[in-house]
Amino acid sequence: MNAPIADVRQGLVEPTNNAFPVENTLVLEPGDGRFTVGGEGAFIEDDEAREIALSATDTAKETETEGE
């Protein structure tokens, strides 16, 4: 799946924003709603991931194009 990350809930680095100690969640927004993904053993998230690959987007270029 290729979807933008809408939010992150985590307790590993400051500032933390998780609701409870074991929550480390990516909130993805593929276009048809939001859903959550956690790591192996995830039980509160919608899905459990074994592997996640992140890639950067050039938001400056996207913003520049939108403004033209």
Q: Are 36 and 27 in contact (CB under 8 A)?
A: yes
33: its two tokens? 């709603």
Cα torsion through 13, 25, 43, 16, rounded to 10: 30
Record the pTM.
0.74
Q: Give the tens place of pLDDT for each residue, 28-51.
A: 999 899 999 999 999 999 999 999
**Residue 67 scores a pLDDT above 80:** no
